[in-house]
Amino acid sequence: MRSCGPMSASPTPRNRIIVVDDDPEAREAFAEFLRMRGFSVDDFDTAEKALDSMSTDLPAVVVMDINLSRGMMTGYDAARRIRALPSAETVHLVAMSGHAAEVVEKEGALFDAILTKPIDADALVLTLQRVIAKDTRP
């Protein structure tokens, strides 16, 4: 597994979201929808690329597909890596899966929220607002 290096980034604005999904249509649709709702969004097709981006800018939330077919990491792997980083302690994680019950059973504690695919766009925005509202950053 490739090392993404140490993360020393400082927290960024509370509206920065990273979307990770290997389905380009879904990823681009979510990213565009969230941008239209006022979020700053970066989207990636692999967990490795998302983690690399976090070395300079921490997001408020990472929304990621669990079953990523590209790259070496699954959504679970990426979530464990993010949770282990002291610099990313305020980053919220939202899982997307066609099998949400399985995610809850396997690794539900890793995530602040779990959404079942297909995902309703308005439910996604409400979920992001809810997890960001729990943020304890000044």
pTM: 0.84
pLDDT at 1 over 50: no
Q: Which has the closest alpha carbon to 34: 63, 11, 54, 9?
A: 63
Tens digits of residue pLDDT in 43-88: 999 999 999 999 888 999 999 999 888 889 999 999 999 999 888 8
- Residue 22 is encoded by which pair of tokens? 């290997």
The answer as to whether 1 is a domain residue is no
The answer as to whether 78 is a domain residue is yes
Q: What rounded mean pLDDT belongs to the chain?
A: 84
Positive or negative, the CA dihedral 121, 96, 15, 5 is negative
Tens digits of residue pLDDT in 102-121: 776 777 788 999 898 898 98
Residue 30 belongs to what domain range?
Answer: 16-131
User: Domains in the chain: how many in total?
Assistant: 1
The answer as to whether 138 is a domain residue is no
CATH of the domain at 85: 3.40.50.2300
pLDDT at 3 over 90: no
